[in-house]
Amino acid sequence: MRRRDGFILVELLVALTISAIAFSVFWQASKNRMQMLTRLEGNYALSRLTADVAILRAADRSLDEVDPSHYTPLDLNIRPGQIQVISKTFKTERILKK
């Protein structure tokens, strides 16, 4: 009877170890997914901003019309005639001029 109890304990420890490994792999995958989505969102906002600046240039309009809230992951410094793009999530610092 004693041997059987020991075997159940070993089975339980193996099952808990496998569960812990599976949970840690899942946690890392979800963390990596969030980082990837943040980078994609930043790249998309930067490409939209670049396209919008090109449209404003073609229409001979002021760059002051750009609303920073439309490009949320990016930090924008808007000055007359130029937009400075600063991003904390991915390394980019661009200055778009009229």
Average pLDDT over residues 33-62: 90
User: What are 9-14's contacts with CB under 8 Å, separation 24+?
Assistant: none
Q: pLDDT by residue (tens digit) across 83-96?
A: 888 877 766 666 77
Q: Can you tell me the distance from the alpha carbon of 47 to that of 52, in angstroms, rounded to the nearest whole number?
A: 9
Percent of the chain exceeding pLDDT 90 equals 33
In the chain, where the domains are located: 2-97
Give pLDDT, residue 87.
Answer: 76
Give pLDDT, residue 29.
Answer: 96
> CB burial class (10 A; 0-12, 13-18, 19+) of residue 21?
exposed
Q: pLDDT by residue (tens digit) across 73-83?
A: 888 888 888 88
Q: Can you tell me the distance from the alpha carbon of 37 to that of 15, in angstroms, rounded to the nearest whole number?
A: 33
